[in-house]
Amino acid sequence: MPPVVDWGRRDYAASLDEMRELVRARRAGRIPDTLLLVEHPPVVTVGVEGDDGGATASGLPVFSVERGGRATYHGPGQQVGYPIVDLDPRDRDVRRFVRDVESIVVGAVEPFGIRAGHVTGRPGVWVDGERKIASVGFAVDHWITFHGFALNVDPDLSAFDRFHPCGFAGSVMTSIAREVGRPVSIADVRPAILAAWAERFEGTAPGRRAASEATAAAAPG
């Protein structure tokens, strides 16, 4: 299995700084593809499409970042995953990478009897095409990916009502716990995340070829 690093619950600013440092390390070949897993204290992040939903007025700390998409919430009870992956040996196919990451989320909720998937024109991972259970948004720097997915396991969903997550009403957001009608812990979900990560990213080569592309946002929402 490609390495997984569990940061536990960690401040968003510190996580962002280290994630960017790991991108540089991956580009230099000092580390292999790696999945970072973390919970953050309550925070709103705003991607390159900007904020049209009142993130600043939410009363939560707000960070503008280089990922695709608009505003979203991170908080306790939400499993955030940051795949630091070299797309060179994956044919520099950003679209395929995004679908592979979405499949990690789909695989994580399936053991709970939840059928989720992608909806054309509606970024993220959805249940029955109507309820959003995970946000997905990336940046790509010299073909190294960073930022990632935020799976709602059992967070305070009312936090999404303070703004318009990814341009939607907060009421579209759901969680594993809401869908199954009982408390669910991140520890309950973790094995399925790790299995899906291994299945999709096992064997990715560590090589690099020359690249000079600037940082680009990918896969909003």
Q: For the domain that residue 118 is a member of, what is the CATH number?
A: 3.30.930.10
Q: Examine the residue annotation and report whether 166 is marked as an active-site residue of this protein.
A: yes
Active-site residue among 85, 125, 136, 166? 166
The range of the structural domain enclosing residue 200 comes to: 4-204+212-218
The predicted-structure confidence for 107-152, as pLDDT tens digits, reads as follows 999 999 999 999 988 889 999 999 999 999 999 999 999 999 999 9
Q: What is the reported pLDDT for 169? A: 87
Residue type, 151: L
Q: By three-state DSSP, how is residue 34 classified?
A: strand
What integer is the mean pLDDT of 13-28? 98
Q: What is the reported pLDDT for 119? A: 92
Report how many domains make up the chain.
1
Q: Assign 3-class secondary structure to 111-157.
A: HHCCCEEEECCEEEEEECCCEEEEEEEEEEECCEEEEEEEEECCCCH
Determine contact, residues 174/131, Cβ cutoff 8 Å: yes
Q: By three-state DSSP, how is residue 14 classified?
A: helix
Q: pTM score > 0.85 for this model?
A: yes
Determine contact, residues 74/150, Cβ cutoff 8 Å: yes
Q: Are strands 4-9 and 34-39 parallel, antiparallel or unpaired?
A: parallel
Q: Which residues contact 12 (CB under 8 A, 6 or more apart)?
A: 40, 41, 43, 45, 61, 63, 74
- C-alpha closest to that of 101 among 122, 84, 115: 84
Structure tokens at 179: 């869908």
pLDDT at 1 over 90: no
